[in-house]
Amino acid sequence: MAQIIVKVLIIMCVLLAFVVPGFVLRKTNLVRSDSLYSISNILLCVAQPALIIKAFAVDPIAPTGAVLLNFLWVFLFSAAALFLTWGAAELIFRFMKKPEERRQRDVLVFIGTFSNCAFIGIPFIDMFTDGNAEATMYMIVFSVAFNLILWTLGAYLMTQDRRQISLKKALLNPCTVGSLIGFLLFLVPQINIFDMEAVSELQQIVECTGNMTAPLSMMVVGVRLAELPAKKLFGDPKIYLAAFVRLILSAALTYLLILPFKLTGLFEATPYVLLTPVIAMAMPPAASVVAFAEKLDGEKEFSAAAFSTGTLLSVVTLPFVLLLVTL
């Protein structure tokens, strides 16, 4: 029991250590706010796809029928968990009925629904499972379901504009493309150049590039923190309510969703089929909330504050959530 808490705390401390350089660089004006656009594009278009390809292509497990069926189960659990949490968040923030509260309400529902399953979730589960390739691939399958819902329901939620719903972006964003490339290399090992002993040096391409994901994403958090006064970060009770939905309630609902399957012992040999959606839903808020707010001229500071506060609070909540679900 204590080992799980200590392990998760150490992982979160490692991730949060990367916040410090971003914070210091912004406070000393060595990094400007407009630099985040470029950093985010490197993270989204290069580092994260490489991390996904690495999980599927470097020392992969065998692509058996059972593994592929597990992928389908994870996808279904993930989609169900996201919709279930969205419904709960809509109910909880229904009290914000005034027209002037609408945009903040949309941000809070978005925060409650969508987790940082990719930028933080994939590196986290890789460290938590000591490099278990199958568990990492399940998290990537979760992120595929996440992206499909993010660019449809999520885009509409933040804009209330059906024109922002984009199946094209859901299918052609870098993370989905990286997943498709990784999955192809996984299914056809004969073309997987990253798992060929004769050219093993090529693994460094995806390993080194993919390993940038956690440091870069957390440095972005550090820059955001440096730009916000403490009152905006910690002074709004609604942000704490959104953090509760994001960090605790969403994981609890997902656990209830998978509990009947756990009790039957259906996935006893592959427990991460059930645990990965719960872990993904226990992650801090999705960085996409800030990107959407900036792109669409929305609640920029409020979104950044909700995102940053939720990320900091996850250090406290994650150890206990994971302790409960792994018992």
d(CA 163, CA 127): 39
Whether 124 and 283 have beta carbons less than 8 Å apart is answered as yes
The dihedrals phi and psi of 285, each to the nearest 5 degrees, come to -60, 150
> d(Cα 247, Cα 35) in Å, to the nearest integer?
29
pLDDT of residue 123: 85
Q: Give me the pLDDT at residue 72, please.
A: 95
pLDDT at 296 > cutoff 70: no
> What type of residue is 278?
V
pLDDT attached to residue 277: 95
Lowest mean pLDDT among 37-41, 111-115, 183-187, 289-293: 289-293
- Point out the least confidently predicted range of 6-10, 33-37, 195-199: 33-37
Does pLDDT of 297 surpass 60?
no
Give mean pLDDT, residues 5-22. Answer: 86
Q: What local confidence, expressed as pLDDT, does residue 261 receive?
A: 93
Percent of the chain with pLDDT over 70: 95
Express each pLDDT in 124-177 by its tens digit. 898 888 888 888 889 989 988 998 888 888 877 777 767 767 777 778 888 888
Give which of 259, 235, 240 is closest to 316, Cα–Cα: 240
Whether 31 shows a pLDDT value over 80: the answer reads yes
For the chain, what are the domain ranges? 2-325
SS (H, E, C) the chain: CHHHHHHHHHHHHHHHHCHHHHHHHHHCCCCCCCHHHHHHHHHHHHHHHHHHHHHHHCCCCCCCHHHHHHHHHHHHHHHHHHHHHHHHHHHHHHHCCCHHHHHHHHHHHHHHHCECCCCCHHHHHHHHCCCCHHHHHHHHHHHHHHHHHHHHHHHHHHHCCHHHCCHHHHHHCHHHHHHHHHHHHHHCHHHCHHHCHHHHHHHHHHHHHHCCHHHHHHHHHHHHHHHCCHHHHHCCHHHHHHHHHHHHHHHHHHHHHHHHHHHHCCCCCCCHHHHHHHHHHCCCECCHHHHHHHHCCCCHHHHHHHHHHHHHHHHHHHHHHHHHHCC
pLDDT in tens, 175-233: 888 888 988 998 898 898 988 888 888 889 998 998 888 888 888 888 888 888 877 77
Mean pLDDT across the chain: 86
Quote the pLDDT of residue 122.
Answer: 86
Question: How confident is the model over 8-24, as a mean pLDDT?
Answer: 88
pLDDT digits (tens, 9 = 90+) for 237-280: 999 999 999 999 999 999 999 999 999 988 988 999 999 999 99
Cβ pair 70, 273 in contact under 8 A: yes
| pLDDT value, residue 233 | 77
pLDDT of residue 294: 62
| Cα distance between residue 33 and residue 76, in whole Å | 38
| Domain 2-325, second-level architecture | Up-down Bundle (1.20)
- Closest by Cα among 258, 283, 278, 253 to 268: 258
Nearest Cα to 323, choosing from 8, 70, 112, 62? 8
pLDDT value for 295 = 60
User: Once rounded to an integer, what is the mean pLDDT over residues 99-110?
Assistant: 84
The whole-number pLDDT of residue 133 equals: 83
Amino acid letter at 167? L
Residue 6: per-residue pLDDT:
83
> What's the pLDDT tens digit per position in 50-93?
988 988 888 778 888 888 999 999 999 999 999 999 999 999 99
Asked if 114 and 154 touch (Cβ cutoff 8 Å), the reply is yes
Q: What is the pLDDT of residue 86?
A: 94
